[in-house]
Amino acid sequence: MKQITVVSDDKVGLLAEISYALAKQDINIEALDFDVVGKKAIVGLMVADPERAKSALGKAGYEVADDNCVMIRLDDRPGEFNRLASMLAQEGINIEKVHMVSRDGKRTILSMVVNRPEPAAKILRDYLASSEAL
């Protein structure tokens, strides 16, 4: 699965503009992460068709990057994320970005961007979540 990221100057209405550009192309936002650092807004989006989303946002004047994500499902209890992070660290895999997609008190779904997604997926195979789990 891919996560797309928009980095833009922060302004009032930014999320309205981004969501409008996607809605115009009938692209549904499946997960959203938004942060402001200094005067820059960082918008992380998960959509069913990242290439169409990149195109729609590009036409709207935004620069868009994409990252391959590893979708993880884990029990919602202390120490579970540490177990995964430690498994990756032991193999020299760097976690670059983590987004909590959903959490229901029993399970947590995370989207993780790592420097080596294929080896990470093999290491975490017992924790992989499909996009249907979102």
Q: What is the pLDDT of residues 18-46, one digit of tens each?
A: 999 999 999 999 888 888 888 989 898 98
Question: Long-range contact list for 78-81, CB < 8 A, 24+ apart?
Answer: 80/108, 81/110
Domain boundary among 20, 40, 67: 67
Q: What share of the chain is helix, strand, coil (3-state, %, to 5)?
A: 35, 40, 25
- What does the pLDDT average to over 68-75? 88
Residues 57 and 8 in one domain: yes
Neighbour-count burial of 38, counting CB atoms closer than 10 A to its CB (0-12 exposed, 13-18 middle, 19+ buried): exposed
Q: Are strands 95-103 and 107-114 parallel, antiparallel or unpaired?
A: antiparallel
In this prediction the pTM is 0.67
CATH number, position 127: 3.30.2130.10
d(CA 121, CA 21) in angstroms, rounded, equals 32
d(CA 109, CA 24) in angstroms, rounded, equals 28
Domain boundary among 67, 91, 108: 67
pLDDT band at 133 (very low <50, low <70, confident <90, very high): very low
- The whole domain housing 103 covers 68-133
Residues 7 and 48 in one domain: yes
Total count of domains within the chain: 2
Tell me the CA distances in angstroms from 116 to 113, 119, 121, one per residue in order. Answer: 9, 6, 9
Residues 54 and 32 in one domain: yes
